[in-house]
Amino acid sequence: MNVQIKEIFEKVKSENRKALLEHEAKEILRLLDLPLPPSKLVKTEEEAIMAFNEFNGPVAMKVMSPQVLHKTDEQAVKIGIATIEEVKKTFNDYMNRFAEREVVGILVEKMVEKGVELIIGSQIDKTFGPVILVGPGGIFVEALKDVVFRMCPCSKEQALSAIDEIKTQKLLNGFRGLAPVNREQLAEIMSKLSNLAWEYREYIGEMDINPLIANSNGIFPVDARIILK
C-alpha cells in the first residue's frame, strides 16, 4: 500500500466523511501516475488568476466542499472559462453563494480538449467482491448501460478484452472526426484502477471516474468520485 494514498483515506475517515472531495480523489489518481489535467486548489481570487495564467488556456472552476457533493445540481461547476474577468466573476459568485458552507477551496483545472467520454468505475459486489466496469460515459451512462465488468484486480489483458466487449465499438474507433481511443492506454488505466479498488477494498465502497475523456493527446480523468464503505 502507498502511504500517501492510505493517509488520504484515513484523513477523510477521521473527519467522518463518506465521500472524498474531487481534489482528494484526483490526488490518489495522480499518485497512481494517471495523466490528470493540470489543476490547483486555490483559496483567493489572486491564486485563481495565477492558476489561470499558468495553465494558459480555458479552465474549469469547481467548488470543493464536503457540503456540496452534487456539484452540477448546485451549479458549483463552471467550464470553459477563457478570460481573467470570468475567473474573477466565477470566484466571487462561488464565495457569495457558498458563504454559509464549509469550502475547502476552488479547484481550477485546465480544460481537457473534447473527445470521447468514457467511464471506469468500481464497487463491491456481494458475490464477487470488488468489481470494475468500463464503457461509454458522460451523463447518459445509466441510459446507455453499455458497460463491461471484470473482477478486481484485473490484468491489462483482461481490461483489453473488456474494452473489446463494449457494444458501441464505433464510438471507440474514431467517431465523427474524434480521435480513436487508445485501447492500450485505456486498459492500463482500468488495470491500475482495479488494483486500487482491490488493494484499498477496506476503504473504497464505490468509485466513478466519469467522464474520462479520450482525445488525440491521451486519456484524462475529468471527474472522479470515491465513496468510502
Question: Which stretches of the chain bind other proteins, using CB under 8 A?
Answer: 19, 69, 119, 121-123, 125-129, 131, 133, 137, 141-142, 145, 147-151, 158, 161-162, 165, 206-208, 210, 225, 227
Q: How far is the CB of 123 from other proteins (least distance, A)?
A: 5
- Is the Cβ of residue 106 or residue 147 nearer to other proteins in the bound state? 147
- Is the Cβ of residue 178 or residue 228 nearer to other proteins in the bound state? 228
**Set of cell numbers at residue 30:** 495522480
Question: Is the link from the previous residue into 136 a cis peptide, with omega within 30 of 0?
Answer: no
**Set of cell numbers at residue 142:** 445509466
Q: Tell me, rounded to whole angstroms, the distance of Cα 67 from its chain centroid.
A: 19
Does an H or E element contain 68, and which? none
- Is the Cβ of residue 165 or residue 188 nearer to other proteins in the bound state? 165
Q: How far is the CB of 5 from other proteins (least distance, A)?
A: 19
Contact indicator for 90, 59 with CB cutoff of 8 Å: no
Q: How far is the CB of 176 from other proteins (least distance, A)?
A: 24
Q: How far is the CB of 149 from other proteins (least distance, A)?
A: 4
For residue 138, report the phi and psi dihedrals to the nearest 5 degrees.
85, -165
Q: How far is the CB of 85 from other proteins (least distance, A)?
A: 35
Q: How far is Cα 72 from Cα 59, in angstroms, rounded to an integer?
A: 16
- Is the Cβ of residue 145 or residue 170 nearer to other proteins in the bound state? 145
Q: How far is the CB of 27 from other proteins (least distance, A)?
A: 19
- Is the Cβ of residue 20 or residue 219 nearer to other proteins in the bound state? 20
- Is the Cβ of residue 30 or residue 225 nearer to other proteins in the bound state? 225
**Set of cell numbers at residue 32:** 497512481
Q: How far is Cα 11 from Cα 142, in angstroms, rounded to an integer?
A: 31
Tell me the sheet residues that pair with 219: 214
Q: How far is Cα 212 from Cα 138, in angstroms, rounded to an integer?
A: 8
Tell me the sheet residues that pair with 39: 109
Contact indicator for 67, 102 with CB cutoff of 8 Å: yes
